[in-house]
Amino acid sequence: MTETPEPVETAPAPAPEGAAAASDAPAAAPAVELSPAAEAVRDAYAFEGARIHLGALMEGEEPNPAAPVNLSLAMLNRHGLIAGATGTGKTKTLQVIAEQVAAAGTPVFVADMKGDLSGIAVPGADSPKIRERAAARGQQWQPRAGATEFYSLGGQGTGVPIRTTVSDFGPLLLSKVLQLNETQESSLALIFHYADTHGLGLLDLKDLRALIQFLTSDDEGKKELKSIGGISSATAGVILRELTAFEASGADAFFGEPAFDTKHLLRRTPDGAGIISCLELPAVAERPALFSTFMMWLLADLYQDLPEVGDAEKPELVFFFDEAHLLFADASKDFLQQVVQTVRLIRSKGVGVFFITQMPKDVPADVLAQLGNRVQHALRAYTPDDAKALKATASTFPTSDYDLEKVLTTLPTGAAVVTVMSEDGAPTPVAVTAVRAPESSMEPCPAPTMDAVVAASALNAEYAQVIDRESAYEILAKRDAEADAAGAEGGKDGANPYDAPAPAGGETDRPAAREKAAPRAKEEPGFLDNPAVKSFLRSAGTVLGREVTRSIFGTRRRRR
């Protein structure tokens, strides 16, 4: 674990005219006379509760440290948007907010697509230039790091592996990953329903593939599937092909056990600081759909497990969703509806969600309407479409004296147009803000440091080793192996229809259970003594009825 941060620095109530407003303003800051506009910003952003210092109001080309711009910590569960063109400072703004939220005692989750957020685990590099820049923004800069836990999807990269089972992931999110149409999505949901009601645990992709082959190629499987609706062989073929290609891409590493428990994202250090969970994602940059749906799985799992807390002094967790456009690209109507519903409802669970993207239009309008805290960096208007998007973005801000279409194209790096949710639920006046400097490192965390953090983590010992317990594949294969043995005694022969080859570059098939099988055995005297049936019943006892406890995303509700 890295160095624990000190408590967050927050600005006090509005100071008398001529005094510095922020608590971390330089001790020798000269008294200044505020303009009416600066005074209005100072008063509007001086919240009574805990605050996150975002920066200082820009007047002309210079920041005014006597007019600080803050975020209300209690209102972060009203969600937010950090947007702007490439290179305008979005990631550093995310870092500034995240490190202060964690220091205030709220755990933070950040997705690090490019690897440049990992520096949040390392104190920033001190220099006269950085201190001068900070002082101009009303910030008394001190180098410090956040208490950080590094994660990776399926162990691909540096970090504690995050995995989940196929059953926990659910049919809706998996349909998006596989890019299925509505008919194929409903068919996959039917297959999950069958697995849930028949005690067939779906832990990894091979389990799902075996179950689909059983239900569509085995005579008895077809009869059972027909009894609950049935699916066409063409639809099953499409799902199998997409599943095999998905598995061959290496995505099977993300499914299996031990399944990650999202309660670990809610931890704090012994002195009360929130732990920053940093998911390292460079290894999955080529699979954006997988990345985005895993992020929604995390959010959906948190939603279903957290109790209702209403409005509290600080959130239970703040979730930063970088590269948010990946979530909504090629998403089905049903999926978008579930995203909107989750964003609306998770506020009452004390979770704040920030979407980080280039253009606000990357986020659907129904989601955008839920984002009360807005930090908009510079936009570019090189094409007619850009100009249209610029005009639409400017129109979403409260009325102000700024010519926002002009301001948004001329903002320097590190500056942003800001409006946030005040404690009385109203948006604050628009403020062009010079964003403060991060106190953690703006460079990526060195590899040896990351390795040391991961090695020292208690979670790494819990999740690093893959567990391969009995599940749908083994149950079906064992059952049919017994039938094959019985058939051989009667002069019959059969082959295991579920023994598909391992995908190229993937893991080898599991041992003996995948060797051989045939059509299922009929009940005979002593059927319950059959070892395969006993195994089936044991599994059924643990997963029976899951379908009635699935969340709005189709993810499985786990009883803690």
Output the domain CATH number for residue 411: 3.40.50.300
Residues 94 and 229 in one domain: no
> Is 336 among the domain residues?
no
**What distance in Å separates the CA atoms of residue 122 and residue 106, rounded to the nearest whole number?**
19
pLDDT at site 408: 96
pLDDT at site 56: 97
> Is 21 among the domain residues?
no
> Is 385 among the domain residues?
yes
The residue among 414, 444, 463 that closes a domain is 463
Residues 74 and 115 in one domain: yes
Residues 267 and 416 in one domain: yes
pLDDT at site 22: 37
SS3 486: helix
Whole-angstrom CA distances from 470 to 154, 336, 478, 534, 552 are: 20, 35, 10, 12, 28
Contact by Cβ (8 Å): 435, 89: yes
> Is 148 among the domain residues?
yes
Residues 453 and 429 in one domain: yes
pLDDT at site 11: 40
Q: How many Å separate Cα 556 from the centre of its chain?
A: 17
Residues 119 and 178 in one domain: no
**10-residue mean pLDDT series, the chain (560 residues):** 43 36 40 84 95 95 95 96 94 96 97 88 95 93 95 90 93 89 90 88 92 81 73 88 87 90 95 95 72 84 87 92 83 81 90 94 91 95 90 92 94 96 95 96 94 94 90 86 72 50 42 37 45 46 48 64
Specify the pairing of strand 148-153 against strand 276-280.
Answer: parallel
pLDDT at site 512: 38
Q: Tokens at residue 320, please?
A: 């930063």
pLDDT at site 270: 95
Please give the biggest Cα pair distance in the chain.
100
Task: Give the number of domains in the chain.
Answer: 2
The residue among 419, 446, 463 that closes a domain is 463
Cβ atoms within 10 Å, residue 186: 16
SS3 374: strand
Residue type, 413: T
pLDDT at site 491: 54
Residues 455 and 422 in one domain: yes
What is the extent of the structural domain holding 286? 36-154+261-329+345-365+372-463
Residues 440 and 317 in one domain: yes
pLDDT at site 549: 63
SS3 502: coil
Q: What is the dihedral of CA 425, 91, 450, 114, to 10 degrees?
A: 130
Q: DSSP labels for 235-289?
A: HHHHHHHHHHHHHHTTGGGGBSBSPPPGGGGG-B-TTSPBPEEEEE-GGGTT-HH
Output DSSP code: residue 268: B
**What distance in Å separates the CA atoms of residue 466 and residue 163, rounded to the nearest whole number?**
9
Output DSSP code: residue 34: P
Specify the pairing of strand 51-59 against strand 62-72.
Answer: antiparallel
